[in-house]
Structure 1
Amino acid sequence: MRFLLEKLILIILCYMQILAAAQKLKTYNTKYDSFNETHYTELDVQKPAMISNDALQITPDSASEDFDRKNKSGRIFLKTPFRLWDGHSSNKSTSKIASFTTSFLINIYRPKNETAAEGLAFVIASNTQLPPNSEGAYLGLTNAKTDGNISNKFIAIEIDTFKQSFDPDGNHVGIDINGVESVKTESLSKHGIDIAPIGPKFFNFWVQYNGSSKVLDIFVAEQEEKTGPTPPKPYSPILSYKNLDLKNIVNEYSYFGFSGSTGNYSQLNCVLRWNLTVDYLDKGQKEWLHIGLAIGVPIIVLFLGAIWLGYYLNKRRVLRSNSDILGKLKSLPGTPREFKFRELKKATNNFDEKHKLGQGGFGVVYRGKIASENREIAVKWFSRENLKGQDDFLAELTIINRLRHKHLVPLLGWCHRNMKLLLVYEYMPNGSLDHHLFRGPEVETLNWNFRHKIISGVASALQYLHNEYDQRVVHRDLKASNIMVDANFNARLGDFGLARALDNEKTSYAEAEGVLGTIGYIAPECFHTGRATRQSDVYAFGAVILEVVCGLRPGTKIGNFTYLADWVWFMHRDGHLLEAVDPRLKGDYDAEQAERLLLLGLACSHPIASERPRTQDIVQIIAGTVPTPIVPPFKPAFVWPSMMPLDIDSSAANTGSITTASLTTSHYNSGWSDQQYVNRENYTGNSMV
């Protein structure tokens, strides 16, 4: 009893420390998808900066040719300061420091194609006031008299477009502390990035600071269109700085915002979107601690007792659950290797965020290496570690346990410990197909042979799942990010988190949670039935074909068309089908193969499930041994055939080509008008802010 009491007191003291520490931090979130005049109430705009054209114009923008944009500087800051460290702490070396994460979309534009100058910066500063004479090289941060003074109390992430004597070049990012001569820089040119090119371009920046580790990381990626979706944050930072202690640099209460300048040349320095999250210190931390000490201990004792009881009951439930799931796992035929959790923890460096390969609704995937075997692995940790998560885990493992095909990602093993559910796959060094199609200029464009090879490989994998495996398997989440590329650029279909095996007497699988999958790849009938079939997999495969050939995502909006397939069908109707081919190929492709694949993609995208090709025919069409499908000039409308079976048996329909005999006039009511032909460039060209 005495031992238990001592432990309880120790736990109470520790808990109070945790309580005191937790009260120090509060979270602030703000998100600006665009800017307008109403935001003047939240932002301190130091002229000549302004808010116009849906953006923060850090240096002025004007339509007037007489307006002089040269030798200007400006600032735009949030009016609210944040407490970034504890100035009253008795131990400054251990006092808590705030953390923050921000992302922003910028456009640096040269109106007359002049030399770029000077740039802009994301800033944390002791005040929002614009220093006098801070144009040119001083980026709105300092001036000739104050530059470098420790009394400046700011840190800035500069995006510099003009080379000074202390700069590496005129196209770099840098970290500035109290002055414009950076403590660390990184040239953007060697990463294939030109931050201020001739013509409009848009770049997303991410800046992350961890107050515990005192590490600042900067990431950058190009965004294709101003209003398009934000690209994924790159895996590695373009610039990182360690041992950065904010309390030695900025005031306890400081402001977040932007500054910028121009010099003897003119340019626009625009911020189009801005997200900011700050974990800052609460002013009332000591009051909370006193309240906790005065009335919290009795409550904590009761609370800990409830926790102990809950822990005891939960432990019994976990032990029973572990026994059940382990029994099911070990009863699987041909069970793959069981990995120890500590083995996977070591391989992934304790599941380090830097080892993360991707994340979805069913889990997170980490890269790892088993040193003793000199083998690289991909570890999928299921995120829904409850009864439903166990069902997903068992479903995926049950299906892929015995799958053997050269175009499927090989499963190496599994791990289950204390409700932690993990699957281990062979690591694919070239990443996903999505990565090679859309991750910017730093990734070389896939040539035509590789594209054709990947499509052929995925078709072969789908034929295996649908017809050659001892059970019919519907993948249900076929998309570019789930198609991996091995060292020889062979396609490997992976991520069976949504896959389900169909019993012999069943033709479809219904999901109680409703339609699952990714918009653009989901067949129209699935929204009505909530059922996945082989035909819905074929529809998703059609979206992948068009995505690979055109170099555009299925949900890309082009002109008046909401989806890529609609635009390609329009190009087919107007006799310009081959102009849908990805222009990044620069004409270096096999025209006959490209036309065959585009028509096959449209055939697979047919709104009526029974009119889509079968997978065994798809494989032959791609190989050129079966004629190309006949595709009508207008996209048929979706018509729900209430009496039609959900999955057409391979012997029941002629789906080698699309026919039009069963289509009524209403099927062709696509909503298209007889507009004149407009090419891809007219739809996708960027515009200046």
Structure 2
Amino acid sequence: MSYSPRPAVLRLPSATIFALFFLPLLLPSARSQLINTTIISNKTYSTYTFPSFYSVNNNTNLLLLKDADHSQGALQLTPDSRNQISFLLNKSGRVFFTTPFRLWEDRLSPSDNTTKYVASFNASFNINVFRSEGTIPGEGLAFLIASIPEAPPPGSEHGYLGLTNATLDANPDNRFVAVEFDTVKQEYDPNDNHVGLDINSVNSTVTANLSFLIAPVNATIYTVWVDYDGVSRHMWVHMAIVGDPKPSAAVLSSPLDLSDYLTQYSYFGFSASTGTNYELNCVLSWNLTVEMIPDDKSRMPTWKLAVIVSSGVLAVMIVLAALLVGLYVRRRKVGDGPSAVVLGMLKSLPGTPREFEFKVLNKATNNFDEKMKLGKGGFGEVYKGMLPGENKAVAVKKFSRANSRQDDFLKELTIINRLRHKHLVPLVGWCHTNGMLLLVYDYMPNGSLDQHLFEGPDMPILNWERRYNVITGVASALHYLHDEYEQRVVHRDLKASNIMLDANFNARLGDFGLARALETDRTSYAEMELGGVPGTMGYIAPECFHTGKATCESDVFGFGAVVLEVVCGRRPRSDIAGFKFLSDWVWKLHREGRVLESVDPRLEGDYVPADAERLLLLGLACSHPSPGERPKMQTVVQIVSRAVAPPAVPHFKPAFVWPSGPVEEGDAGPSSRLTSTSSAVMSSYYASSAEGTSQYLSQEGQVGPRDTSISTV
């Protein structure tokens, strides 16, 4: 029998109803959907309703990724313009509801055995898969539950429905569950018109043929019901023409334990793709009801919850009074200046992670014991911590009062707060207490990439497969920052010590202390307030010394330095064969047809020569002195995934010439301030040979130490 919770009739005081109705209207997340909370059999359910999508503010309630958009009151999961057919081909898009839901938890049974409790949910939505008369539909859409609300991976067009690609398909790390509505037959599909249950793969676990066409010649709107019972661990899918009642028989029914495949907190949304054929994949409305599993600390007995609800206006007044008093006390402690502003901005950020109490993090890090210190970055120190009562290891970044300001903290948080990608270090939460600024990240048990490359015989050598996967992961993360996130983000400090390795040695790009989001009409970011060119020697593109600007092209230069570093097992600034820079030595070997001689000898020949040459040529192409000649990250991803041939690299390293192209209007200020010192800067840059030392360049052209220790997040 299908599980379908129905809203209970709650009899509340009229003043409470008034408060519950109007208070959500004051919240940014409540402006485009009605929020309704009901209690049924001691369980709390929250309902979110999107009757249409005429007004969508991206990344407020909904996150539209890659080729997804909205128009004419619908979510267009793939482009909807038919003015240019080529624009509709080979596309993929995703849309997520920005609120994560706790879908399962471990609980102790009366016999002290640990069991999993899984939440129930119901989703209903109207879809219209439209194809022009006489055309063949392609490819389909899916209702998606994912652990990370990230953009579709590169290569997720065609039959991959924006869910996965040829490399990632069936990878358990995908951590998604989807219900697909497929309109093209692949070799693993039963036909070209079916519904299927997809778990980490587009090769469906269960499929069911449909007696009606998903994409008929005459456009038809269908209502889909997806019901999941967490108690019986079962999912049902019903489908009917809009306006018709919910059928008694499900088109698909399958046992499913979400806790086996998803992380505790996951996101609901949709995904779709097109291929050599196209269709318009539209979602016209969406209702979502989810059983709310409270955090352990917030769970309370039913009688207490009833008392709180029945208190009505009195409870609302007490809460508001407490907030006002708390704000007043905090302002008295911290001041009415920037601290209060920071706190207010943190509270208002969409999708902000968990706020920690300082005492919790203090206990987790054993009072920030030096023995718990993992490393030191440009803006603070990082400590390992174990959250009390949660058995979860974290890395706590403590911003230093001496060399950091509150806006540094806020800049990092506002960027990493909304980024969602499997190859970025996940942000867990933050803390701001009495001027103490802390960011909490997932702990990466295998440390940083440079530790494995350079920290001596006690650290195991990374084998070739892991090295290649690290480069692939970093490329995917940087492509997301440059091209797939709603804003273009420039990392500005890409280096081996900022690339972390998780338990499976997957790359996780971290340390966003220098990262900045570019305005939509700009291609570069200039910031002179740091007193020089931000970044680390050996990874800084040569044009940055003249412009004082960070760009996507300068990020690519840093990526190229990392690629050569990983393949050769040497730092970007290495004294070798009379060269000060690794790239110059590799370029010489490339010119002489001996480029594979640069591969790390510690691998003892255990590598794939074709892949090694592919990466070495890619590293040189990214290290091109002219920013315009470096490949874009979309091309880089295709190269490392072996989808296209390695780049063509000249045998002789081109000379650096500035300006390399037209000067961007409005750029004269920063450029002119640095032009007078550019010769001194470049001279110092190429003369300095302290291996592995992170440095900065002042506006006077002086080279000096910046930070020689490990940056961990």
With normalisation by structure 2, the TM-score equals 0.46
Larger gyration radius, structure 1 or structure 2:
1
With normalisation by structure 1, the TM-score equals 0.47
